[in-house]
Chain A
Amino acid sequence: MTLTSPTSLLIDNQGVLDLIKSGQINNCKKYIDIKFRHVYDQEDQGMISSQHVAMQEQIADIMTKPLGAEKFLYFREIIGVHA
């Protein structure tokens, strides 16, 4: 099995996405700038491909906050944890 296409990076924040695509960032602190350049660089080289994902479909939510039962069960299903 081989990975032929760049890894899709799904982000639910349009602002971040615009920045990664355009490479334009101004007046930000150095630590953010370095992180930004790194991500932009990988996008530029075709290692990753950033795309937008709706907040309701953002399954990384399960890793960042305690969710209500409905959302939790839905995301758990997508992530591949089944009975």
Chain B
Amino acid sequence: MDIKSAFLNGDLENKIFMRIPPGVETKEGQVWLLHKALYGLKQASREWYLKLKGQLEELDFKRSDADHRVFTKIIDGKLFVIAIYVDNFLLFLSNISHIRTVKEDLKRHFEMKDLGEAKWILQMKIERTDIDNRMRKLTISQEQYIKTILEQHGMADCKPAKTPMAANLQLPTLTEVKIDITEYQRYIRSLMYLMICTCPDIVYSVGVLSRHVACPGRTHMQAVKRVFQYLRRTSHYGLEFQANNSNDASSIVYVDSDWGGDHMDRKSISGFAVLLDEGAILWGSKKQTLVSLSTIEAEFIATSTAVKEIL
């Protein structure tokens, strides 16, 4: 669902005056007092959020404490979830008729456009496939985004690579910049979004490479290009989630650390992945802040990081 001219819905807390735009005939020295928010106002997005929150709470939705963009409500014992990105809504419920009721409720308050089943959100493509009556599958992928960044960096025709980074690669820590630093940073920036959304496979590589954004050298640049070569090969890959019909879900967390994997300072890296019914929902790769004396110590720090993330 998409809301038309969302920001114009916001009510203003403060008094704001504006100069009258050219083309409107008025006496000199007159100004307008705004009743509603306008695009471009500093507080427009906040006012919009407050308005929306108020309306949803009126409809008995509860805001999630963990993420303020998520609202939930229990209808007939089933959980109903609304995820919001500025003026885009994603509605989740197992029963389609309830969705219709909620949509009607929302439409009464805002001028909305119903886009039907979600297909795209924030450059992620959502695909649903039925394997058979019982099994359903949902895939999120960013093929279009990958194609765009490959083209932006002139790597649309590069040689595809099987893995994002050469095995056992050690990148030196430099003290002076050897290459065009902004170019390097641009490469890394375009990878960040991918790694957060749909590509847990490049998390380690991007993590390692971003540690050198302040002082990259030629070897670092080559390594970044290798990640792009890997993406060229796997651009059509996506993250898959399978739905089972039971109401129980099982979550599994894998935790690991490489003990003293960095040859320069011998600090370890913690890594973890959370799988919910065999689909990855959360992952991370983080360099530990201190040098571990034993594998047990390194594994412990990793375990603790993962436990903090999942609770």
Contacts and interface: CB of A to CB of B under 8 A. Distances in A.
Interface of A: 1-5, 7-13, 15-16, 19-20, 31-32, 35-36, 38-39, 42, 47-48, 53, 58-69, 72-73, 76, 78-83
B254 A53 contact: yes
A63 B204 contact: yes
Interface in B231-261: 234, 236-241, 247-258, 261
A46 B186 CA distance: 45
A61 B256 contact: yes
Given A7-B310, A81-B237, A64 B201 contact: no
A35 B290 CA distance: 14
A1 B254 CA distance: 22
Given A64-B271, A66-B165, A81 B200 contact: yes
Given A8-B250, A64-B270, A69 B303 contact: no
Interface stretch (B49-57, B105-113, B277-285): B277-285
* Chain A CB within 10 A, most for which of B200, B237, B284, B295: B200
A4 B248 contact: yes
27 contacts: A1-B247, A2-B249, A3-B248, A4-B248, A7-B253, A8-B250, A10-B253, A11-B303, A13-B296, A16-B300, A38-B304, A39-B307, A48-B253, A58-B254, A59-B254, A60-B256, A64-B256, A64-B258, A66-B168, A66-B169, A69-B163, A81-B198, A81-B201, A81-B237, A81-B280, A82-B237, A83-B234
Interface in B76-96: 79
Contacts of B269: 63-65
A81 B238 contact: yes
Contacts of B208: 66
B204 A1 contact: no
B280 A72 contact: no
Main secondary structure on chain B at its contact with chain A?
Answer: mixed
Contacts of A8: 250-253
Contact of A82 (B139, B248, B285): B139
Interface of B: 79, 139, 162-169, 198-201, 203-205, 208, 234, 236-241, 247-258, 261, 269-273, 275, 278-280, 283-285, 290, 295-297, 299-304, 306-308, 310-311
B293 to A, nearest CB: 9
B275 A79 contact: yes
Given A35-B304, A64-B271, A79-B200, 8 more contacts: A48-B253, A53-B254, A60-B255, A62-B201, A79-B280, A81-B199, A81-B238, A83-B234
